[in-house]
Amino acid sequence: MEWTMRDANPVDASAAAALRTALDCTEPFAALLVRRGIRTAAQAEAFLNPAAQPLPSPSMLFETERAARRIRKAIAERKRICIYGDYDVDGVCATTIMYRTLATLGADVSYYIPLRAGEGYGLHKNSVRELAESGVQMLITVDNGISAHAEIELGKQLGMEIIVTDHHRCHETLPGAAAVVCASRPGQPEGIASLCGGSVAMLLAMQLGRPAEEFLAIAALATVADVMPLTGFNRTIVARGIQLVAKEPGLMALLEAAGAADRPIDEVTLGFLLAPRLNAAGRMGDARRAVELLIAGDDAARRHFAAELEAANAARKAEEQRIFTDAERQVDPTAQHRMLVLCGEDWNPGVIGIVASRIVERYGCPAMLFTRLGGELVGSGRSVPKVDLFGLLSNHASFFTRFGGHAGAAGAAMQPDRFEACRKALLGELAERFPRGLVRPPIEYEDTLALSDCTAKLCTELERLAPFGEGNREPLFRLIGTMSNLTAMGRDGAHLSALLEMPHEKVRLVGFRFGPRAAEWSALKKVETLCNLRKNVFRGSVSVNAYLFALRTACPETVRTVARALLRGGEDGTELRMRIASTARPREEEMRRIFLRLRGRLQNGARLDELYEEELITLLILREAGIVDDADETFYERTVCGKKDITNGRLYSMLYR
């Protein structure tokens, strides 16, 4: 995978110098701020202190005041109100916020969340009928409803007043509800469209007179869990909400059940400890357990529901791995994939979305996984930046009984006999749009630093960029040096430790989950790495750790660029001859030794960006001779009958004769 600098344009030296003086910061940090469009001390203060920035006003959302007026009238008339939520974290949080708000205001309120495995996302006609028959007079959707035109019309016919609150993408026409409060409606102020369902519910609660502090922790959790961009209003919501998590007894009960109640609380706590456990309620059964945890009024009830969610999360992990293993059996690892549309008879519909994310990460293309549920196939998909998944499904809407979502994630349902035709149609469109296949987006890094730049002061400055997440990733830096003292560490050697050195400078390199690469990387000397920089405090001593994200040999990038062009058919080898070093042109016998050394890696794929220069040249020549295949910049060994003469190929001749 290619590496590219986040912004390769020269930094405005005068702006960086002014920031360095005003903030008393390091040169790399000042340059980082300028690259992000921050040029003045006032702009820096606003970005580096998000908790001090104002929250969005409820009036920024269209029809918030109308919705609040209707709700107050319904409460005054003692109408039965039902909150209709969703089973993911955002839906659970939005349901909690709206339920607690109306209960505090004295409403006759209940809530309803459809079963993921039984009903699926959004409003359903059967559910609408049942709620109307039970006496519900006002239905308020949270985190859903913007696409439920027919279901809302049915509810109105059955005598219910309906208010929609949502953030998913609007269709061309809005549903005919009494009020439609949706973050994605065109024409609203900048920053509103990126709000999640929980934040939309919080703004409506504020319009109803409740202070934001009551719900900021829950809205922050919803924002992180729904992978919303952590910029603008979302950055402020999350920064403020993190400070209030300790005041949410339900969330603290969940952290206690996870054995993490005494750890510092940050965006990682929200995204990797709390969110998966709340999500597990709906994925492995009934999401109401998560809502009950957050609205429970006593510690005993909270401990009970927290224990249930902890157990559900453990079961979810096991089921996820089973489905992932099963799904991978359907994938040809050597093929070039534009999209993977897979189906399993016994896959848990609550887990297939997570597995789809893992498939996307592994193969670099959109993935939709379907499983049988009753008489239908239900599916969940995830995508890559170049493919708008909701738009793709919209182009083939006739295949589905229902679908919804956004660019990065979507869900759908269809009749089983439509699956194969649908799969072919989706793949066919992508084949037309991307005739040369999907190229994985490059890994973006912030800057190339000297090891002497990696100081504790810089690490302290980088901490001020948090909260990190979508739209505000923790900065990656490119570090180059000689690697030594490489050892596997941790349980079963799961991680690795090494020193990255240059003359008179060294930094400790820590690679979580890279332990299995230790033996392979032990022969490497000069390497390029992409790392996050963080302080390490041990017994009062402060040092800097570079946490490894990616590593490759220090092969010239120009060589890699030409090699990529060669793989895509855009280069004949002339440029490669000019670019490679004379020492990187191994002769036939040396190529044989390199091939034998790489053989184990070739079984699972040897990635272009992790190869020595002479390894890359060898595999390009073996590819031309038909001894290896390539897919998505990864080389695989082919099954070959008989001997192959690699010296007769065009590339070999061009490089050596």
The region of weakest confidence among 269-283, 366-380, 621-635, 640-654 is 640-654
pLDDT number for residue 125: 94
Q: For 120-137, what is the mean pLDDT?
A: 94
Mind listing the pLDDT tens digit for each residue in 146-178?
Answer: 989 999 999 999 999 999 999 998 878 999 999
Q: Kindly report the CA angle at 14 between 8 and 15, in degrees rounded to 5?
A: 70
Encode pLDDT of 194-235 as tens digits: 999 999 999 999 999 999 999 999 999 999 999 899 999 999
When the pLDDT of each residue in the chain is averaged and rounded to a whole number, the result is 92
Say how many residues make up the chain: 657
Class of the 3-48+443-553 domain? mainly beta
- Residue 122: pLDDT band (50, 70, 90) is confident
Distances (CA, A) of 274 to 252, 254, 288, 303, 306: 9, 7, 16, 14, 10
- Whether 642 shows a pLDDT value over 80: the answer reads no
pLDDT at 333: 81
DSSP structure class, residue 53: S
CA distance 620 to 608: 10
- Give residues with Cβ within 8 angstroms of 99, minimum separation 6: 83, 109, 111, 291, 295
Q: Of the ranges 10-19, 453-462, 597-606, which one carries the lowest mean pLDDT score? A: 597-606
Domain extents in the chain: 3-48+443-553, 58-240, 330-433, 557-656
Q: In this predicted model, what pLDDT tens digit does every residue of 476-487 receive, in sequence order?
A: 999 988 899 999
Residue 583 clears pLDDT 70, i.e. is over it = no
CATH architecture of 330-433: Roll (3.10)
CB burial readout 46-74, b (16+ within 10 A) else e: ebbebeebebbebebbbbbeebbebbeeb
User: How far is 262 from 7, CA to CA, in rounded Å?
Assistant: 39
Determine the longest span between alpha carbons in the chain, in angstroms.
Answer: 91
Task: Say which CATH topology domain 58-240 has.
Answer: inorganic pyrophosphatase (n-terminal core) (3.90.1640)
